[in-house]
Structure 1
């Protein structure tokens, strides 16, 4: 079985073991693949594993040997699933490999905004504490989370983990989901309540026509002036120009983002110059532990397919 991994570096830059995949066939690994390189590299492959490489209908039509695409991620919008289905190619993805890691990053972003530990550490190393006339000082307002309201848009595996951490911080937790179910300690509310009542809003919903740019000028205008937006979900959940404008104008207090609408971002992305905005380069999923689970689950999906028992199959919408 010829297996080609077209963009292995992000999942495994050298700190993981590809052995779970190696034992399933003859494996060729490319760290990265440009669009024009895909067909030549995958021409003889029956199995292709990708993270973010785009497999379009045009590309798939040139890969007659292909039987299986294993997406090494949860999102699969980089695959033309309808074209794959037409060509008899099975497509799978991986879910729930990193809820704890994403929830942890969500609070890393929040704590960065309310405690500014890095800002104060840099100040100390710059000599400002040594020269201070006082035994302590703070360069930004500091905010206690206990008693504040965390509003969650989405309450799946990740949102539930975020809720548990928020409760441990002594926060009140409210949540909106399309099909609400009772959850101990969490008040299920209409979407408008999330915008008007929350001190912190965290996005954990799928990207759909309904949720695209759910954070926009109109929803931002309904938020508290001390509100903070967190997005570790999908970049297009946020209208970035509207959010940047709100930050510049003090409509809300801050934003912490691990995802953007275009990745890597263009130099003119308005959020790159917005005040009180913390951005990390889509790393919430990328802890060593989460990537190790992901790699094993990729192998498990492929092994199940080879047994004739395909699982985690994605189908055309």
Structure 2
């Protein structure tokens, strides 16, 4: 049985159903007892980022995990390796979706006028403040991390006339970007985008000190991992007017719940971890994952 614990493109769920028994329950992360009961019946799991493939779940007996996305911090990779469990992330399938998210939300925050709907609905006509928005052309796009998604983000930025500067101690090359140290990228960027995994090294990489080193009025976009950013410090920088805007797609705790610092913070876009999720990307991710899991199980 293939157990799918989070949302997946229905056509590819049906494709798997034509080849194997499939249990598709996309709300299982909210029902841990049911997940624990179903997992021992599964030969494969297909998950997104909310299912925690760790701890006792690794004892269930499945032989592979298909990851509908690329982040792996919800999967105990060492534990999987020790048990011979193969993990198949959908590398490359949502690259364009994330890159578009970064550049388009950055452009919205630079322009500013799109955030003025409340004033207009109240009957005001804030044409003066709205006319102070900034063009994206000629601005510096700073990338912390320079993997595949960051490279595509840089390409989109260059197409709009941006200069691209990047830092990554593990990058093979910096084709398309000027290489710099992370502190230099943060200091130069008009739009700073994060493209790093969540590790002990990157946790709270963007804290109060890092934010203070950024240009006044700079824009921050995080579509990487939530724990990379000190969320309270970002809110403080926005309230103080030092940051010109921020878009956060990933969070230290997901869903946010009631205990979060974001209420009433200006120039802030919040999205529910969908930077890599569009209709097109979901189809690509689902196809790649379905085919790799099927191949692992000998179903193709």
TM-score (norm 2): 0.89
Moved more, 202-211 or 68-77: 68-77
Q: Which has the larger radius of gyration?
A: 1
| Structure 2 contact 166–174 (Cα < 8 Å) conserved | no
Q: Select which of 241, 248, 254 maps to 2:239.
A: 248
Return the offset for 1:37: 0.8
Structure 2 residue 41 is matched with structure 1 residue 44: yes
Question: Counterparts of 2:277 and 2:98 in 1: how far apart (Å)?
Answer: 9
| Structure with greater proportional helix content | 2
Structure 2 unaligned runs (5+)?
Answer: none
- 2:84 and 2:188 mapped to 1: Cα distance? 49
Q: Which stretch shows the higher mean deviation, 48-57 or 188-197?
A: 48-57
Counterpart check, 1:145 vs 2:136: yes
Structure 1 residues 11-40: Cα deviation after superposition (integer angstroms, max 9, x where no partner): 33x5x4423322331112112111111122
Secondary structure at the counterpart of residue 108 of structure 2: helix
Map Cα deviations across residues 66-105 of structure 1 (whole Å, 9 max, x no partner).
2222222212322333333444433322211111111111
Q: Is the 8 A contact 2:226 2:253 kept in 1?
A: yes
Checking the alignment, whether the CA contact within 8 Å between 2:47 and 2:68 is kept in structure 1 is yes
2 CA distance for matches of 1:80 and 1:181?
26
Given that 1:196 and 1:222 are in contact with CA atoms closer than 8 Å, whether structure 2 keeps it comes out as yes
Shift in Å at residue 206 of structure 1? 2.0
Matches of 2:58 and 2:298, distance apart in 1: 24
Equivalent position to 2:191, from 188, 192, 200: 200
Residues 176, 194 of structure 1: 8 Å contact kept: yes
Residue matched to 1:313 = none
- Equivalent position to 1:56, from 51, 54, 57: 54
Paired residues, number: 297
Q: Give the CA RMSD over aligned residues.
A: 2.5
Q: 1:81 to 1:196 in 2, by over 3 A?
A: closer
Q: In structure 2, which of residues 88, 91, 94 is the aligned counterpart of residue 98 of structure 1? A: 94
Within 5 A, what are the aligned runs for 1:11-160? 11-12=8-9, 16-33=11-28, 34-51=31-48, 52-61=50-59, 63-64=60-61, 66-120=62-116, 128=124, 138-139=129-130, 141-160=132-151
Q: Deviations over 1:215-259 (max 9, x none)?
A: 111111111112111111111111112211222222322211111
Task: Tell me the equivalent position of 1:315.
Answer: none
Secondary structure of 2:41's aligned partner: coil
> How far, CA to CA, are the matches of 1:162 and 1:278 in structure 2?
19
How many angstroms does 1:181 deviate by? 5.0
Q: In structure 2, what is the Cα distance between the partners aligned to 1:87 and 1:285? A: 30
Whole-angstrom CA distance in 1 between matches of 2:176 and 2:69: 31
Counterparts of 1:182-201 in structure 2, within 5 Å, are 182-201=173-192
Question: Does the 8 Å CA contact 1:112/1:278 hold for their aligned counterparts?
Answer: no
Instruction: Provide the C-alpha distance between the structure 2 equivalents of 1:259 and 1:290, rounded to a whole number of angstroms.
Output: 17
